Copies of this chain bind each other. A is one copy, B any other.
Amino acid sequence: MSMHSSSTDSRVGALPQPYLLFLGDTTEPGYAKTAFGLRDWAADRCVGEWSCGATVSTGLTTLTPVEARARGARGLVIGVANAGGVIPDGWIGALVEAMEAGLDIVSGMHMRLADIPQLAAAATRLRRSLIDIRTPPHDIPVASGRKRSGKRLLTVGTDCALGKKYTALALARAFAARGVAVDFRASGQTGILIAGGGIPLDAVVADFEAGAAELLSPAAAPLHWDVIEGQGSLFHPAYAGVSLGLLHGSQPDAFVVCHEPGRTHVLGHPDFALPDIEEVIDLTLRLGRRTNPAIRCVGVSLNTARLDADAAQQLFSRESRRLGLPVADPMRGGEAFDRLVAAALEEPARG
């Protein structure tokens, strides 16, 4: 499996690795998904974690920037993504301390590091780099809507931050293990840090959103699969437009719905009930058919990190019967996930 995207900024390949993961003052685990993602999918490139008052932890060794530098770290990665992608004033002292210890700063936030005067001044003084990976390419075209060769799978969700990236990474890994030509296509900052390429789709100007999705998964060999990391949710009161542009531009042949059992409301929006899985399937089919009439749902991915193994297996069986689809947790693997992978790779029934 190649984790690289041929269409993206080659600069990302030169990120200062290995990383020290910075957790800021984060108390909400849902916002630390960049740090968790790097721990889970790029552990060999993470030396430890550091924070300025966070209650969230990746479980990696806590190291000061000086200690991390001594163990080989070259970059401090901001491992959290709060709503809006803002770098709070309270983090700036810590980021300067990291630069003083010899680390470059890597950020996937919307706010650009170089736009914060204290950071810009410290970087100049200390000759360190401020690297914003949430910067899309400059030459994104308006979407054409034209069908591209190759096969595509998109992960979609009932909400943000519940497994779309992990599901895509696990599916790409499983496809490769079965000898299928596949690329993981990263659409968000954590995926880009893991894959070494991609396009930060939530940072693209709205008119070019579907065009960016077309660029992210270019025409490929007929049997090649792109497994595309989804963003947001069609039911999210702030981010649904991002999800729709990504859906239209990806033109997926197949999609997997990602959900966290027990989550009842949109993260950070307690007035918004989460949609049912069936609603997400139905709306994704309806909207996705606009650019790929053959779109189909091939399964459901449940994030069962909070359940024990027996409860998870029972849930997969029950939901699979109810929905008539494979249901699995990619992080647990097993027969349930094998069935989901097989359904994704199966040629759809005709007519």
Chain A interface (Cβ within 8 Å of chain B)? Answer: 83-85, 110, 141-146, 201-207, 209-211, 235, 237-246, 248, 269, 271-272, 283, 286-287, 290-291
In the assembled complex, which residues on chain B have CB atoms less than 8 Å from the CB atom of A245?
Answer: 206, 240-242
Give the docked Cα–Cα distance between A203 and B206 (Å): 6
Q: Is the CB of B203 within 8 A of A203?
A: no
Across chains A and B, which 10 residue pairs bring their CB atoms closest together, nearest first? Answer: A241-B245, A145-B237, A143-B238, A241-B241, A202-B207, A241-B244, A209-B241, A206-B242, A206-B206, A206-B209
The residue from B110, B141, B143, B283 contacting A207, defined by CB atoms under 8 A apart: B110
Give the docked Cα–Cα distance between A210 and B234 (Å): 12
New contact pairs (4) apart from A143-B237, A143-B238, CB-CB < 8 Å: A205-B206, A206-B242, A206-B245, A209-B242
In the assembled complex, which residues on chain B have CB atoms less than 8 Å from the CB atom of A287?
Answer: 240
The residue from B207, B239, B242 contacting A239, defined by CB atoms under 8 A apart: B207
In the assembled complex, which residues on chain B have CB atoms less than 8 Å from the CB atom of A271?
Answer: 145-146
Given A205-B205, A235-B290, A290-B235, A241:B210 Cβ within 8 A: yes
Q: Is the CB of A206 within 8 A of B210?
A: no
Number of this chain's copies in the complex? 2
Q: Is the CB of B240 within 8 A of A290?
A: yes
Q: Is the CB of B240 within 8 A of A211?
A: no
Give the docked Cα–Cα distance between A60 and B122 (Å): 57
In the assembled complex, which residues on chain B have CB atoms less than 8 Å from the CB atom of A237?
Answer: 143-145, 210, 248, 290-291
Q: Is the CB of B202 within 8 A of A206?
A: yes
Q: Is the CB of A240 within 8 A of B235?
A: no
Q: Is the CB of A205 within 8 A of B207?
A: no
In the assembled complex, which residues on chain B have CB atoms less than 8 Å from the CB atom of A244?
Answer: 240-241, 244
Q: Is the CB of B242 within 8 A of A207?
A: yes
Subset of 23 A-B contacts with CB under 8 Å: A84-B141, A110-B207, A143-B237, A143-B238, A144-B238, A145-B237, A145-B238, A145-B269, A146-B271, A202-B205, A202-B206, A203-B205, A205-B206, A206-B242, A206-B245, A207-B242, A210-B237, A211-B238, A237-B290, A240-B245, A240-B287, A241-B241, A241-B242
Q: Which of A141, A240, A241 has the most CB of B within 10 A?
A: A241
In the assembled complex, which residues on chain B have CB atoms less than 8 Å from the CB atom of A204?
Answer: 205-206
In the assembled complex, which residues on chain B have CB atoms less than 8 Å from the CB atom of A142?
Answer: 83-84, 238
In the assembled complex, how far is the CB of residue A177 from the closest CB belonging to chain B, in whole angstroms?
34
In the assembled complex, how far is the CB of residue A264 from the closest CB belonging to chain B, in whole angstroms?
16
Give the docked Cα–Cα distance between A144 and B266 (Å): 11
Give the docked Cα–Cα distance between A253 and B205 (Å): 27
Give the docked Cα–Cα distance between A209 and B205 (Å): 9
In the assembled complex, how far is the CB of residue A61 from the closest CB belonging to chain B, in whole angstroms?
33
